[in-house]
């Protein structure tokens, strides 16, 4: 028989169930009837041999699980900063205060809709949901919450961002460069120029060190610990165009050996502010903005890959520079203009 008691100096009721072969389980409720209903349910499951103890999962809120995930799982990953940012996003969300057993697929579907309403990219939302989905699997397999179900399996997830085909328009690079030079961040314009010339991703671009660069040989030798697998990789040796060499020669040396004396985030913010300043100037002058609409920093990598093809390089040569390991992904980054093929056709 379950024990139902009213807690001293408290309006809450405590139900405790003891059965031979099971650990004692208890829970606190607002009313006596709720406590009795729960106790009967647990006793019935124990009698039928289907009871599964989820007390630890019930005691663990999503925010507690996120903290543990951040300490134990994130340090084993390659992209720790991105996961730390996603964890912080979840911890600030009201859903994080609820226990793991009290979360349903519908709750995360509502989160998806809310993030879409904020204008977040599909891939951003997909990665946020993927982190929590993995958290539930880790809790189930490694944290002793064997019978915890994964609510992310009961919802339709976003497939990711749609492929983009945005390229720099004629004269757009020069306009953006001019506004970046007025941004107050002296590294922003050279970083943009080098991004177009090397096809490097943001993360790798701002990790570059002078010790890796041989300007005379026009090569960057990237240590193996800074390379990554699959389509996030970079080549062991990156050849430099003459324009890339000119950009690097013009840069001052930093005290820490990094090529850029600024952060990735600072340059991307300067990039966004330069676009906004240009748009605002157009409005003041009563002119229609012709450039920079819907341009993102990552589009510079698409531009760089396409320019390599336009220079006549073979797909294998291009992939040796961009770091793509599959031709399918390389094709996604390449947007040749039909006009650029006319000279090749004769």
Each residue's pLDDT tens digit, 143-191: 877 777 888 888 887 876 566 778 888 889 999 999 999 988 999 999 9
Q: Cβ-count burial of 286 within 10 angstroms (0-12 exposed, 13-18 middle, 19+ buried)? A: exposed
What integer is the mean pLDDT of 316-339?
Answer: 73
Average pLDDT over residues 247-259: 94
What is the mean pLDDT of the segment spanning 103-124? 89
pLDDT given at position 145: 78
For the chain, give the percent of residues with pLDDT over 70: 88
Residues forming beta bridges with residue 4, ordered by sequence position: 15
| Band of pLDDT at residue 263, cut at 50, 70 and 90 | very high
Q: Is the pLDDT of residue 346 over 90?
A: no
Alpha-carbon span 195 to 53, nearest angstrom = 54
SS3 category, 128: helix
| Most confident of the ranges 11-25, 31-45, 247-261 | 247-261
User: Cα(343)–Cα(58) distance, rounded to whole angstroms?
Assistant: 68
Report the mean per-residue pLDDT for the chain.
84
Average of per-residue pLDDT across 222-236: 72
Q: How far apart are CA 259 and CA 248, in angstroms?
A: 8
Q: What is the pLDDT of residue 208?
A: 94
With cut-offs at 50, 70 and 90, classify the pLDDT of residue 134: very high
- pLDDT over threshold 80, residue 74: yes
Specify the pLDDT at position 323. 79
Fold (topology level) of 59-154 = DNA polymerase; domain 1 (1.10.150)
Report domain extents, the chain: 3-51, 59-154, 172-338
CATH code, residues 172-338: 1.10.443.10
CA distance 279 to 246: 30
Digit-coded pLDDT (tens) for 284-304: 888 878 888 888 898 898 888
Q: In terms of DSSP H, where are the helices of the chain? A: 32-48, 55-59, 62-72, 80-91, 105-117, 122-142, 172-181, 188-198, 202-205, 242-249, 264-285, 299-310, 315-322, 327-332, 342-345
Q: What is the mean pLDDT of residues 134-149?
A: 84
Of the candidate ranges 41-50, 82-91, 114-123, 332-341, the one whose mean pLDDT is the lowest: 332-341
pLDDT band at 231 (very low <50, low <70, confident <90, very high): very low
């Amino acid at each position: 028989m379950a024990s139902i008691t009213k807690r001293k100096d408290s309006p809450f009721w405590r139900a405790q169930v003891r059965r031979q072969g099971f650990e004692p389980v208890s829970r606190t409720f607002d009313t006596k009837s709720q406590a009795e209903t729960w106790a009967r349910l647990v006793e019935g499951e124990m009698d039928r041999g289907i009871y599964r103890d989820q007390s630890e999962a019930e005691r663990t809120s999503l925010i507690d699980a996120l903290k543990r995930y951040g300490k134990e799982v994130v340090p084993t990953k390659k992209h720790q900063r991105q996961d730390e940012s996603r964890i912080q996003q979840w911890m600030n969300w009201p859903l994080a205060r609820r226990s793991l057993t009290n979360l349903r697929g519908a709750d995360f579907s509502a989160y998806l809709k809310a993030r879409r309403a904020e204008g977040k990219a599909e891939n951003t939302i997909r990665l946020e949901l993927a982190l929590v989905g993995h958290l539930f699997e880790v809790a189930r397999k490694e944290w002793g919450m064997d019978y915890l179900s994964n609510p992310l399996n009961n919802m339709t997830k976003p497939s990711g961002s749609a492929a983009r085909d945005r390229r720099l328009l004629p004269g757009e690079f020069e306009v953006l460069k001019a506004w970046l030079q007025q941004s107050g961040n002296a590294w922003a314009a050279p970083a943009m120029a080098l991004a177009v010339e090397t096809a490097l991703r943001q993360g790798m671009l701002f990790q570059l060190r002078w010790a890796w660069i041989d300007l005379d040989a026009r090569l960057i030798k990237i240590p193996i610990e800074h390379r990554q697998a699959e389509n996030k990789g970079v080549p062991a040796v990156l050849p430099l165009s003459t324009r890339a060499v000119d950009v690097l020669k013009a840069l001052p040396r930093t005290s820490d050996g990094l090529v850029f004396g600024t952060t990735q985030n600072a340059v991307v913010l300067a990039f966004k502010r330069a676009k906004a300043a240009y748009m605002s100037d157009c409005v003041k002058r009563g002119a229609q903005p012709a450039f920079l609409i819907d341009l993102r920093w990552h589009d510079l990598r698409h531009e760089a890959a396409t320019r390599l093809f336009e220079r006549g390089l073979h797909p294998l040569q291009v992939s040796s520079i961009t770091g793509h390991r599959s031709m399918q992904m390389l094709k996604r980054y390449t947007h040749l203009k039909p006009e650029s093929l006319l000279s090749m056709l004769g």
